[in-house]
Amino acid sequence: MEELEEIEEDAGLGNGGLGRLAACFLDSMATLGLAAYGYGIRYEYGIFNQKIRDGWQFFEGKELRLKQEYFVVAATLQDIIRRFKASKFGSTDSVRTVFDSFPDQVAIQLNDTHPAMAIPELMRIFVDIEKLPWNKAWDITKRTFAYTNHTVLPEALERWPVDLVEKLLPRHLQIIYEINQRHLDHIASLFPNDVDRLRRMSLIEEGGTKRINMAHLCIVGSHAVNGVAKIHSEIVKTEVFKDFAALEPEKFQNKTNGITPRRWLLLCNPGLAELIAEKIGEDYVRDLSQLTKLHEFVDDDLFIREVAKVKQENKVKFALYLEKEYKVKINPSSMFDVHVKRIHEYKRQLMNCLHIITMYNRIRKDPAKVFVPRTVIIGGKAAPGYHMAKMIIKLINAVAHVVNNDPVVGSKLKVIFLENYRVSLAEKVIPATDLSEQISTAGTEASGTGNMKFMLNGALTIGTMDGANVEMAEEAGEENLFIFGMRVEDVTELDREGYNAQKYYDQLPELKKAIDQIKSGFFSPKEPDLFKDVVNMLFHHDR
């Protein structure tokens, strides 16, 4: 049966973390008995399949495009309107034609900016089709929508070229212009002669190619805006959207992300789930706060041994999978050090790679020295157009090839890059993990949910005070996580002072050697200059 499951492709429920989060939301709402729908597109190339060929990422599939974004919101709103009209709640009319109660019956959560076109689309339906006056339509629309922001990186916030929107959705562009004009008129009445404020808060960015700022559209068209972790929500209010937060502070709030324990414990780690149920009962499946009852067993040697046994069984099972798929023999008693998430500079897979090279050099320098055997497992996809992320994948694979074939190193250190990281693969690696890498630069990770999945399955966390790591440290006690590196305020101060990479290169011999090896072609002897862009980025554009 397991072999058949391997052949069956994962359901394409979303692209990356946002899609996985949406699936966890649906699981939670279903468990709570809430009347909720999740709308998405069913199409063959929803998530590209990552292929690693000679260390390079290749992908099969298509990018998320404006047409697809509009298609899903248009179909969704048509279904919502149809359901609203059909459910008359005591009305004697054949269909409901009055929309005053629409926000009381319908709440639409915008999961980041991708469905932002739902705002002008609902306005189009109300104004053009249902013939509502603009002010009434806008009031209903604003009370219907709420917006979740998932990133603090300006380049990750969608901005569609006005020319493209005019070509594909001319009526929607007219509506966006009207929304923007009324929005700017309101700001001008509160802050007369503040032209710079109008520019910062406009839905239309004028510099160079005119673009629609979809995050601004979401904020203006929603009654609530939330970040997805305490630290992220503060950054949203004080930095990313500070003008909007100053205008409507009551609109901004925090809703820390979460995960479903049904999938990320019961389904993927039945051994641990059963062990917990034996001690505290099965109610924790619906109320995860009951896990605090496990406190009374921290000194129970038998229970601790049973937990360790389950972990080891999961590691043996995953080691066999890796040997079968990657033809690399893994020591299941080694530390499984796992870093799986989207490949991005701020998530710092490159820093992890520098650590791998440093460990490799230490073993080579003194092979007789005691070294805790470690299997480093990295996985994740790079956006198809993201050159540096694809270079990082290539570097990790190049380092893995050298490390895994060095007889001096042997079984002390192995490196695996998981091809095509996906939900079904996550369900295998997470229960087997000893050390969870959550090492983003402080102030860049909105929340993260992988951090929660690993901790729920008994992995220790090494990480920065970023995203949901902060709240995990508050809950578990900072002494129970390996917290390192700068805090958000330290990063801000370093940005202000200026970061000099050369200083660290000159002062840290092991770091210098690792970078020199990358630069010299040690890991790419056939193409010595292959990673020059990576080295150049480390010295001049590192973030």
The catalytic residues are 150, 341-342, 347, 449, 453
Q: Which two tokens stand for residue 365?
A: 């320098």
5 CB-near residues (< 8 Å, 6+ apart): 424
| Backbone angles phi and psi of 375, in degrees to 5 | -115, 115
| Backbone angles phi and psi of 365, in degrees to 5 | -70, -40
Rg (CA), the chain: 26
335 CB-near residues (< 8 Å, 6+ apart): 372, 373, 374, 375, 434, 435
Residue (of 119, 131, 39) closest to 76 by Cα position: 39
Contact assessment for residue 113 and residue 154, using Cβ atoms and an 8 Å cutoff: no
Contact assessment for residue 117 and residue 171, using Cβ atoms and an 8 Å cutoff: no
Q: Which two tokens stand for residue 203?
A: 């839905």
Q: Which two tokens stand for residue 341?
A: 């998430």
Per DSSP bridges, beta strands 335-340 and 374-379 are: parallel
Paired strand residues for 148:
111, 226
Q: How many CA atoms lie within 13 A of 539 on its CB side?
A: 14
Q: CA-CA distances (angstroms) from residue 530 to 57, 525, 541?
A: 15, 9, 18
Per DSSP bridges, beta strands 204-205 and 211-213 are: antiparallel
Token pair 């409901």 is found at: 96
Q: Which two tokens stand for residue 183?
A: 């929005």
Task: Give the integer Cα–Cα distance in Å for 537 and 533.
Answer: 6
Q: Report the greatest alpha carbon distance in the chain.
A: 86
Task: Give the integer Cα–Cα distance in Å for 502 and 538.
Answer: 9
Q: CA-CA distances (angstroms) from residue 93 to 78, 80, 82?
A: 20, 18, 14
Token pair 């798929």 is found at: 325
Give Cα 151 distance to the centre of its chain: 9
| Backbone angles phi and psi of 110, in degrees to 5 | -85, 110
